[in-house]
C-alpha cells in the first residue's frame, strides 16, 4: 500500500535524507470509563487509597469466579462500530498465563482466539491530510495491579486497585512509517474515545498506553526485518521519542551490517532511550486457553444495530461540517478538539438563527472556552440563555464590545441579574442621555480645537481619529466608535 | 448409619459424638462443635416459638475442605493454604444456612481434590469406616466417611472426575453429582473448572433431593449456571428403557464380581418389566487421556493464584520475587498436585497445545455427543462405578494405575451429565461397591426417581 | 514423548516450581508414563471435529455495570503472609 502512494522518485528523494524506512505497528490499551471492573463489581475510580477497591474476586481468593461487565462489551462494540470493524457474532475469553506480583490470578483474562472486533480503519489528520491506518483487531481484557519498587524498604509494595480494570486493546497493522504519524494517531485516538464517551483518554492516569512494534528496512524492500517491541509507552510525546530513538538505534545496527535482534524493550522517559527488557529466548510462553468460567458472548444483529445508533458524529465528520458552516478552519479545529465545548456549541447553534456560525464560533473560542478553562460555569440551557443575552446586548449597541468582553463577560455568571443590569452596575452601559452628551461633547471639542476642525472640514480625513481619540479619552473608552464617528461628521457638516 | 434424635441439639450432639468416636478415621479436618450446637439451640428455640422453619431445618451437613465458609479456615487440604480463612461464603453454604441446615465441620479430602484414595491430604489419609485399613476413595473420602460414621445427614462435596461418586461407592453410601452448571461453584475451590460440580453424599435419597433443591439454581456469581426452575417431582408408570454400556462391563480392569452383580441386577430389572439394551461406547479407552489432559491443564491454570503474595503459605528467605514463587509453590504443593500442574503446563505449552489440549477438546466433543445419542435412546445408562472395591491404605499404586481406575467415573464429568452411585452391594469380605447410573442433562429429577426404583426393588430381593 | 531434563526444567520454570533432584527424576518418569498413556489420543481421526471449548450451555451471561461491596483494607490484608499496610509486600523487584 505504502510504496504505491509515493512515486519512486519521491522514494529516491526520501532516501537521500534517510536510507531506511521504519515500519511501525501499535498495540494500544484503552482504559474504559465503566464504573466497575471487567469481571467483578469493584469500583474503578481513580485515586482511591491502595487496596481499598478490591474484593475476594480481584484478590483471586480461592473459589471466586469472573462475570462479564455488560458495559465493557458495549464499549468494545461501540469502538469497533465507530471504526468500521466487523463485530464477531460469537466470541470468548482466554486465559493468558504469567506470574507477577500484581497479577492475582496468575493469568490475565483476555481475548486471544476470538477478539470481538476485527478489521476496520482509523482515519486521522497528519500533515494537514487525512491519514488512514488499518486495524487488525480490538479485544477486551483486564488490567493488572501496580507494583511499587521505590523507597528504601527491602520489599516491593503491591496495590491491586487497578487489577481487573477493563481495557480495550486495539492492535493496528504495521501501517505507520514515522514517529510523527504515531504521535498524531495517539492524539486523534484520545479524542476519538472521548467522543465515544468510553474513556477519558487521560494519559497522566494511564488511560491510554501503548506498546510499539518497530522495525526498519531499506527503502523499497518488501519484506519485514526483525522487530522490537517497546512496552508500556504512556504518552504521545514519549511514543514519538521512543520510536525515534529506536529507529536510530536499529538504523545504526543495519548501517554497520548487523542484524537487529527480535526483543522486548522499555523506554525511559528520563534518558529518552530504550533498553532491553527481555530477549527472544526469554519470551513468555503464555499458555492461552479458553476461559472455562465465562460462557461465550453472543452478539445478535439486533444488539449490534442498537449500539450502532449510539455512535456519535466523530471528529473528522464534525470538522468538515463546521467548515461547511463557514467557520474558520483554525476555530473549527479548536472546537473539534474539545468534545464538550463543541457539543455546547452545537446545541447553541440550533437555538440561535440570528448570528452566523462563524461569529458564534469566534465567541466560543475567544470568550467562552478560555473562561471554561479557568472556572466552572453553567452548562446546557443556563449557558445558552446567558450567551444569547450577551450577544444580543452587544448587537443593541448598549455596551462597547471590547469593554464588555473585558469587563462584563467574565462576571456574566456571578449574578442572577440581567446582563444589562450588570453592565449598568459596573458602569459600562450606555443609555439615551449618554447619546445626547456625545453630540454636545463633540461640539465642545470642535470649539476647543478650531484649527483641526477646519482642516477636517476641508477634507483631511485623518483628523477624524484625532477627534475620536479625544472623545474616547473623555468617555473613558465607553463610547461606541461607530457612533462617535457619525457624531463628528454630523457636527463638522453643521458648522 | 442414619442419624437418630428428635431435637436439633440432640441430633447435633449425636453427630458430634459419632465424629469423635471415629476420630481415627480422620474424616474431619475441623469440627465446628460449639458453633453447630449453638445453632442447633437457636433452631430448636425457633421451632418451639412457632417460627417458620427452613426447608432443611435441622439437617446436619458436613462440607468438604474446598468449600468457602466465611470466617472459617479453608485449605483444600494443602500446605499452600496454610492459615487461610475465607472472607466470604460459598453460595451453597449461604443457601444451606438460609434453609436452617447445621454445618458440623470441614471434611478431609485429597489435596485440591486431586486423587482417588484420599492419601494426598496434608492432614493425612482418611480411613474407610468399613474394613481394616482401607482407603475410602477420593477425593471426597472424608465426606463419604462423615456420612458412614453418622456425623452428618448429608455431606456436601465436589466431583471433578468422580470425587463424590467413587468414594460413595467404596464406602457404601449414595453419591449424587448433578449436571454441570446446576449448582453454583462460587466458593468452591477450582480444580478443573469445566468439570467441577458440587455433589452430595448421604443415605436418604429424599434428603439428598431436598438439599439439592435448596442449593441448585441461578446465582449471579457463577456465569456458567443455567436456571433449572423445575421443582415438580418426576414420576412415571412406564417401565424404564435402560442402556447398559457393554464394553464397560467387558473391560479388562473390572473385577468379575462387579460385572456379575451388574448383570444380575439388569436381569432383575428386566424381569420387573424394564427394557435393557446393551450398547458399546466407542470412546471408552479415550476417556482417561482426555480427562487428564483437560483437567490438568485447567488445574495448572487454576492453581497459578497460589503464589504466596496475598494469602496462604509463603516460603521464608527468598532472594527475589521469582525465588519466592518457586520456593513457596514447591514446598506448598504436594506431589500429586505438582504432577498435574506439570502435566497441565506441558499440554498448554508452546508447540504442544494442538497435539494435546486441542485434540482432547475435540475428543471431548465426540464423547459428549456420543453419550447424548445414547441418552436420547434410553432413560438412563448403567455402568460400573469403580473397577474394584476399596484397596489397602498401604498399597502402592503408580499414578497411571490410579488414573486408569477413574475410567467409569470421569465420563459424567467429561460430558457434564448428572450421575449417581448407588450402594447396592458388598463383597465376601464386606467391602461395598456401587452401581453407577447416568442421566440426560438437567434431568436430575428423573434420575433420582429411577435411583429410588432401583434401590427399593434391590432391597426387596 | 521423552521427558528430558530440558523439558522438565522448562515446565518447572513456567509453573514456578523448583524440584529437588530426586523429585525431578521421579516426576519426570511419572510424566513420561502419563504422556505415554495420553498418546492414545493420536489414534483418533479428528478431522473436522470442532473443539469443545465451553461446557455450559449458557450464552452471553453478563452483569450490569454496578458497584458491589468491597473488602476493607484490613479484610484484604488479613490473609497476607506479609504486608505493609495498606500494601501487600513481596521481595524487592529490582528495576533495571
Say if residue B79 is exposed, middle or buried (CB neighbours under 10 Å; 0-12, 13-18, 19+): middle
Rounded to an integer, what distance in angstroms lies between the CA atom of residue A367 and that of residue A220? 51
Catalogue all structural domains in chain A, each as residue range(s) with its CATH number: 2-306 (no CATH), 315-425 (no CATH), 432-494 (1.10.10)
Contacts of B222 in chain A (CB under 8 A): 65, 293
Yes or no, beta carbons of C56 and B224 under 8 Å apart: yes
**Cβ count within 10 A of residue A407:** 16
Q: Which residue of B has its CA nearest to A297?
A: B223
Buried b or exposed e, range A291-311, using 16+ CB within 10 angstroms: bbbbbbbebeeebeeebeeeb
Which of the residues in chain C have pLDDT under 70?
A: 95-96
Contacts of B79 in chain C (CB under 8 A): none
A114's grid cell: 476470538
Tell me if residue A290 falls in helix, strand or coil. strand
Lowest-confidence region among B33-42, B123-132, B230-239 = B230-239
Yes or no, beta carbons of A157 and C89 under 8 Å apart: yes
Q: CB of A112 within 8 A of CB of B306? A: no
Assess whether the previous peptide bond of B139 is cis (omega < 30° from 0). yes
A26 Cα distance to chain centroid:
19
Contacts of C88 in chain A (CB under 8 A): 51, 101, 157-158, 160
**Among A62, A158, A293, whose Cβ lies nearest the Cβ of B309?**
A158
User: What sign has the CA pseudo-torsion A424, A426, A430, A433?
Assistant: positive
- CA within 13 Å, CB half, A387: 27
- What was the ipTM of the complex prediction? 0.97
Q: What are the two backbone dihedrals, phi and then psi, of residue A53, each rounded to the nearest 5 degrees? A: -115, 60
**Would residue B163 show up in a list of annotated catalytic residues for this protein?**
yes
Query: Mean pLDDT for chain B?
Result: 96
C60's grid cell: 452471553
- Chain B: give the shortest CA distance to residue C29, in Å: 10
Query: Which residues does A contribute to its contact with B (CB < 8 Å)?
Result: 56, 59-68, 95, 97, 99-101, 104-107, 156, 158, 160, 285, 287-289, 292-295
User: What sign has the CA pseudo-torsion A137, A143, A149, A150?
Assistant: positive
Contacts of C60 in chain A (CB under 8 A): 295-299
Yes or no, beta carbons of A61 and B325 under 8 Å apart: no
A155's grid cell: 520489599
**Would residue B134 show up in a list of annotated catalytic residues for this protein?**
no
Q: Which of B65, B307, B416 to mutate to test the interface with A (most CBs of A within 10 A)?
A: B307
Yes or no, beta carbons of A289 and B189 under 8 Å apart: no
pLDDT value, residue A14: 43
Yes or no, beta carbons of B310 and A59 under 8 Å apart: yes
Contacts of A67 in chain B (CB under 8 A): 220-221, 223
Say if residue A208 is exposed, middle or buried (CB neighbours under 10 Å; 0-12, 13-18, 19+): buried
Yes or no, beta carbons of A106 and B304 under 8 Å apart: yes
pLDDT value, residue A417: 87
B155's grid cell: 455431606
Q: Which of A69, A98, A287, A295 to mutate to test the interface with B (most CBs of B within 10 A)?
A: A287
Dmax over Cα atoms in chain B, in whole Å? 72
Q: Which residue of C has its CA nearest to A50?
A: C86
**Cβ count within 10 A of residue A178:** 18
Q: Catalytic one among B163, B261, B296, B421?
A: B163
Contacts of A56 in chain C (CB under 8 A): 71
First to last CA, chain C: 39
* CB < 8 Å from C in window 54-83 of B: 83
**Among B220, B292, B311, whose Cβ lies nearest the Cβ of C80?**
B311
- Chain C: give the shortest CA distance to residue B110, in Å: 18
Instruction: Give me the mean pLDDT over the B316-332 stretch.
Output: 95
State pLDDT tens for residues B302-321.
Answer: 999 999 999 999 999 888 99
**Among A70, A292, A296, whose Cβ lies nearest the Cβ of C63?**
A70
Contacts of A153 in chain C (CB under 8 A): 84, 89, 92
Yes or no, beta carbons of A71 and C94 under 8 Å apart: no
Chains with ≥3 CB–CB distances under 8 Å to A: B, C
Yes or no, beta carbons of A105 and B305 under 8 Å apart: yes
**Among C34, C52, C80, whose Cβ lies nearest the Cβ of B399?**
C34
Contacts of C16 in chain B (CB under 8 A): 307, 322, 325-326, 329
Chains with ≥3 CB–CB distances under 8 Å to C: A, B
**Would residue B264 show up in a list of annotated catalytic residues for this protein?**
no
pLDDT value, residue A437: 67
Q: Catalytic one among B78, B89, B139, B261?
A: B139
Q: Which residue of C has its CA nearest to A148?
A: C93
Yes or no, beta carbons of C96 and A73 under 8 Å apart: no
Yes or no, beta carbons of B329 and C27 under 8 Å apart: no
Q: Given 3-state DSSP classes, what are the helix, strand and coil percentages for chain C, each rounded to the nearest 5?
A: 40, 10, 50
Return the CATH superfamily for domain B8-215: Amidase signature (AS) domain (3.90.1300.10)
Contacts of B310 in chain A (CB under 8 A): 59-61, 104, 160
Contacts of A39 in chain B (CB under 8 A): none
Which of the residues in chain A have pLDDT under 50?
A: 1-17
Tell me if residue B435 falls in helix, strand or coil. strand
Yes or no, beta carbons of B356 and C41 under 8 Å apart: yes
State pLDDT tens for residues B115-163.
Answer: 999 999 999 999 999 999 999 999 999 999 999 999 999 999 999 999 9
Q: CB of B225 within 8 A of CB of B218? A: yes
pLDDT value, residue A432: 57
* CB < 8 Å from C in window 126-155 of B: none
Q: Which residue of A has its CA nearest to B304?
A: A106
Higher pLDDT among residues B184 and A380, named by residue: B184
Q: Which of B197, B346, B405 to mutate to test the interface with C (most CBs of C within 10 A)?
A: B346
pLDDT value, residue A10: 44
Of B247, B250, B244, residue with least CA distance to B278: B244
pLDDT value, residue A194: 95
Q: CB of A33 within 8 A of CB of A165? A: no
Contacts of B193 in chain A (CB under 8 A): 292-293
Yes or no, beta carbons of A295 and B311 under 8 Å apart: no
Yes or no, beta carbons of A56 and B87 under 8 Å apart: yes
**Among A42, A68, A92, whose Cβ lies nearest the Cβ of C62?**
A68
**In chain C, domain spans:** 5-43
- Chain A: give the shortest CA distance to residue B356, in Å: 12
pLDDT value, residue A15: 42
Instruction: Give me the mean pLDDT over the B344-361 stretch.
Output: 97
A127: left (phi over 0), alpha (psi -120 to 50) or beta: left
**Cα separations in angstroms, A473 against A150, A424, A467:** 64, 20, 10
pLDDT value, residue A403: 82
Q: Which of C90, C93, C94 to mutate to test the interface with B (most CBs of B within 10 A)?
A: C90
Amino acid at each position: 500500500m505504502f510504496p504505491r502512494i509515493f512515486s519512486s522518485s519521491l522514494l529516491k528523494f526520501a532516501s537521500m535524507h534517510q536510507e531506511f524506512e521504519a515500519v511501525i505497528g501499535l498495540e494500544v490499551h484503552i482504559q474504559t470509563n465503566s464504573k466497575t471492573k471487567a469481571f467483578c463489581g469493584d469500583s474503578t475510580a481513580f485515586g482511591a487509597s491502595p487496596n481499598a477497591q478490591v474484593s475476594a474476586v480481584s484478590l483471586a481468593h480461592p473459589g471466586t469466579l469472573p462475570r462479564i461487565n455488560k458495559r465493557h462489551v458495549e464499549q468494545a462494540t461501540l469502538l469497533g462500530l465507530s471504526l468500521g470493524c466487523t463485530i464477531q457474532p460469537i466470541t470468548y475469553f482466554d486465559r493468558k498465563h504469567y506470574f507477577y506480583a500484581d497479577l492475582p490470578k496468575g493469568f490475565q483474562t483476555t481475548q486471544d482466539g476470538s477478539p470481538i472486533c476485527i478489521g476496520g480503519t482509523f482515519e486521522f489528520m497528519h500533515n494537514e491530510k487525512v491519514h488512514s491506518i488499518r486495524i487488525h483487531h480490538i479485544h477486551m481484557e483486564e488490567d493488572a495491579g501496580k507494583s511499587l519498587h521505590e523507597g528504601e524498604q527491602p520489599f516491593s509494595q503491591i496495590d491491586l486497585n487497578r487489577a481487573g480494570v477493563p481495557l480495550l486493546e486495539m492492535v493496528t497493522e504495521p501501517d505507520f512509517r514515522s514517529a510523527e504519524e504515531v504521535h498524531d494517531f495517539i492524539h486523534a485516538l484520545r479524542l476519538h474515545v472521548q467522543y465515544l464517551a468510553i474513556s477519558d483518554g487521560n494519559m497522566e492516569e494511564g488511560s491510554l498506553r501503548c506498546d510499539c512494534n518497530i522495525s526498519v528496512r531499506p527503502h523499497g524492500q518488501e519484506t519485514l526485518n526483525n522487530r522490537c517491541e517497546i512496552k508500556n509507552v504512556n504518552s504521545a510525546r514519549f511514543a514519538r521519542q521512543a520510536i525515534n530513538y529506536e529507529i536510530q538505534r536499529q538504523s545504526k545496527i543495519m548501517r554497520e551490517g548487523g542484524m537487529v535482534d527480535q526483543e522486548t524493550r522499555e523506554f525511559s522517559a528520563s534518558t529518552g532511550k530504550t533498553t532491553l527488557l527481555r530477549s527472544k529466548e526469554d519470551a513468555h510462553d503464555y499458555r492461552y486457553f479458553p476461559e472455562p468460567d465465562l460462557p461465550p458472548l453472543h452478539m445478535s444483529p439486533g444488539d449490534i444495530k442498537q449500539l450502532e445508533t449510539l455512535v456519535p458524529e466523530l471528529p473528522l465528520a464534525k470538522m468538515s461540517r463546521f467548515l461547511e458552516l463557514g467557520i474558520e478552519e483554525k476555530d473549527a479545529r479548536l472546537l473539534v478538539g474539545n468534545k464538550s465545548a463543541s457539543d455546547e456549541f452545537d446545541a447553541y447553534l440550533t437555538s440561535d438563527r440570528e448570528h452566523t456560525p462563524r461569529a458564534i464560533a469566534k465567541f466560543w473560542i475567544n470568550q467562552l472556552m478560555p473562561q471554561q478553562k479557568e472556572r466552572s460555569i453553567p452548562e446546557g440551557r443556563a449557558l445558552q440563555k446567558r450567551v444569547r443575552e450577551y450577544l444580543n446586548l452587544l448587537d443593541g449597541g448598549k455596551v462597547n464590545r471590547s469593554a464588555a468582553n473585558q469587563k462584563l463577560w467574565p462576571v456574566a455568571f456571578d449574578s442572577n441579574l440581567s446582563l444589562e443590569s450588570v453592565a449598568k452596575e459596573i458602569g459600562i452601559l450606555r443609555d439615551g442621555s449618554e447619546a445626547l452628551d456625545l453630540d454636545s461633547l463633540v461640539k465642545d471639542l470642535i470649539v476647543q480645537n478650531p484649527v483641526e476642525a477646519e482642516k477636517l472640514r476641508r477634507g483631511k480625513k485623518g483628523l477624524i481619529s484625532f477627534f475620536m481619540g479625544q472623545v474616547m479619552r473623555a468617555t473613558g473608552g465607553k463610547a461606541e466608535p461607530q457612533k462617535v464617528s457619525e457624531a463628528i461628521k454630523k457636527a463638522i457638516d453643521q458648522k | 448409619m442414619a442419624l437418630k434424635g428428635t431435637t436439633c441439639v440432640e441430633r447435633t450432639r449425636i453427630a458430634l459424638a459419632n465424629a469423635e468416636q471415629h476420630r481415627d478415621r480422620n474424616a474431619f479436618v475441623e469440627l465446628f462443635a460449639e458453633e453447630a450446637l449453638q445453632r442447633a439451640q437457636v433452631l430448636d428455640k425457633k421451632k418451639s416459638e412457632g417460627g417458620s422453619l427452613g426447608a432443611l431445618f435441622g439437617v446436619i451437613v458436613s462440607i468438604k475442605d474446598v468449600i468457602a465458609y466465611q470466617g472459617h479456615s479453608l485449605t483444600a487440604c494443602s500446605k499452600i493454604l496454610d492459615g487461610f480463612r475465607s472472607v466470604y461464603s460459598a453460595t451453597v453454604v449461604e443457601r444451606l444456612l438460609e434453609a436452617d441446615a447445621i454445618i458440623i465441620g470441614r471434611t478431609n479430602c485429597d489435596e485440591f481434590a486431586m486423587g482417588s484414595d484420599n492419601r494426598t491430604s496434608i492432614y493425612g489419609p482418611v480411613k474407610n469406616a468399613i474394613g481394616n485399613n482401607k482407603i475410602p476413595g477420593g477425593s471426597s473420602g472424608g465426606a463419604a466417611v462423615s456420612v458412614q460414621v453418622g456425623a452428618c445427614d448429608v455431606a456436601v462435596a465436589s466431583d471433578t472426575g468422580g470425587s463424590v461418586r467413587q468414594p460413595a461407592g467404596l464406602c457404601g453410601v449414595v453419591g449424587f453429582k448433578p449436571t454441570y452448571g446446576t449448582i453454583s461453584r462460587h466458593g468452591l475451590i477450582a480444580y478443573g473448572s469445566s468439570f467441577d460440580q458440587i455433589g452430595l453424599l448421604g443415605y436418604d435419597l429424599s434428603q439428598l433431593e431436598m438439599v439439592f433443591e435448596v442449593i441448585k439454581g441461578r446465582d449471579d456469581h457463577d456465569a456458567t449456571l443455567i436456571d433449572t426452575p423445575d421443582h415438580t417431582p418426576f414420576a412415571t408408570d412406564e417401565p424404564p428403557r435402560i442402556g447398559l454400556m457393554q464394553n464397560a462391563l467387558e473391560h479388562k480392569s473390572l473385577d468379575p464380581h462387579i460385572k456379575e452383580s451388574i448383570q444380575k441386577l439388569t436381569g432383575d430389572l428386566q424381569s420387573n418389566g424394564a427394557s435393557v439394551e446393551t450398547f458399546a461406547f466407542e470412546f471408552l479407552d479415550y476417556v482417561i487421556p482426555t480427562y487428564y489432559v483437560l483437567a490438568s491443564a485447567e488445574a495448572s491454570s487454576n492453581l497459578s493464584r497460589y503464589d504466596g503474595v496475598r494469602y496462604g503459605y509463603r516460603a521464608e528467605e527468598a532472594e527475589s520475587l521469582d525465588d519466592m514463587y518457586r520456593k513457596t509453590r514447591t514446598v506448598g504443593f504436594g506431589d500429586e498436585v505438582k504432577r498435574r500442574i506439570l502435566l497441565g503446563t506441558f499440554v498448554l505449552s508452546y508447540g504442544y497445545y494442538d497435539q494435546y489440549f486441542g485434540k482432547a477438546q475435540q475428543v471431548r466433543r465426540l464423547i459428549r455427543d456420543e453419550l447424548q445419542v445414547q441418552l436420547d435412546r434410553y432413560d438412563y445408562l448403567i455402568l460400573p462405578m469403580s473397577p474394584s472395591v476399596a484397596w489397602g491404605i498401604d498399597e502402592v499404586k503408580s499414578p497411571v494405575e490410579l488414573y486408569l481406575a477413574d475410567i467409569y467415573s470421569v465420563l459424567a464429568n467429561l460430558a457434564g451429565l448428572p450421575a449417581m452411585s448407588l450402594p447396592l452391594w458388598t463383597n465376601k469380605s464386606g467391602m461395598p461397591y456401587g452401581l453407577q447410573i447416568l442421566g440426560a442433562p438437567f434431568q436430575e429429577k428423573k434420575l433420582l426417581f429411577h435411583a429410588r426404583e432401583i434401590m427399593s426393588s434391590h432391597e426387596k430381593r | 514423548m521423552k521427558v528430558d531434563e530440558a523439558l522438565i526444567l522448562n515446565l518447572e520454570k513456567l509453573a514456578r516450581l523448583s524440584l529437588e533432584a530426586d523429585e525431578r527424576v521421579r516426576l519426570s518418569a511419572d510424566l513420561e508414563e502419563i504422556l505415554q498413556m495420553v498418546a492414545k489420543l493420536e489414534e483418533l481421526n479428528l478431522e473436522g471435529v470442532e473443539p469443545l471449548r465451553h461446557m455450559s450451555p449458557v450464552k452471553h451471561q453478563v452483569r450490569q455495570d454496578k458497584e458491589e461491596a468491597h473488602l476493607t483494607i484490613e479484610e484484604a490484608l488479613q490473609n497476607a503472609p506479609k504486608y505493609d499496610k495498606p500494601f501487600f509486600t513481596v521481595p524487592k523487584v529490582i528495576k533495571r
